[in-house]
A = this chain, B = another copy of it.
Amino acid sequence: MRDLLYLKDDQIKDFIEQIFYAYRETYSDPKKILKKYSFGTAHHRAIHLIERHEGLTVSDLLSRLKITKQSLNRVLRDLIENKTILLKKGEIDSRQRQIYLNEKGKKLFEEIFLEQKKRIYNALKSSDSDSVLKFKNVLKKIINE
């Protein structure tokens, strides 16, 4: 039998630790910017997902965030009030709401992303394309995508 060193518990424990650091650092970077708008990381995650999946419905967003609708509603109310996002009635199913960034929201996203990008960009630029591809594939498997 092969000695699957990379499946040893210590390696797995390291990954669990490092995934925590990676998430925390990646989402900490833009906190100062968010604070300028009185937003927190909850708003950030919503803005990010809305930018990546423009026109997604409230339930789409809920299932990506995996929080309750009461929790999400606080965030969406803030974002709507601030004119960062807008909700349109669903074209096919008018019970649904489709969520979009408006101009202000797009600018805010860019400002946040510019800051957040640095960390990932620096990691990728010092890696070869094969590493990046394999990083992506393992990451996908972790999230069962």
Contact = CB atoms under 8 A, between A and B. Distances in A.
Given A17-B52, A19-B23, A124-B12, A6 B145 contact: no
Given A13-B52, A25-B142, A136-B15, A20 B6 contact: no
A139 B143 contact: no
A18 B126 CA distance: 20
> How often does this chain occur in the complex, in copies?
2
Contacts of A131: 134, 137-138
A13 B113 contact: yes
Nearest to A51: B13
A98 to B, nearest CB: 19
Given A15-B139, A142-B120, A129 B52 contact: no
A58 B68 CA distance: 35
A74 B26 CA distance: 26
A43 interface: no
B132 A138 contact: yes
Interface in A52-76: 52, 66
Interface string A25-49: 1111000000000000000010011
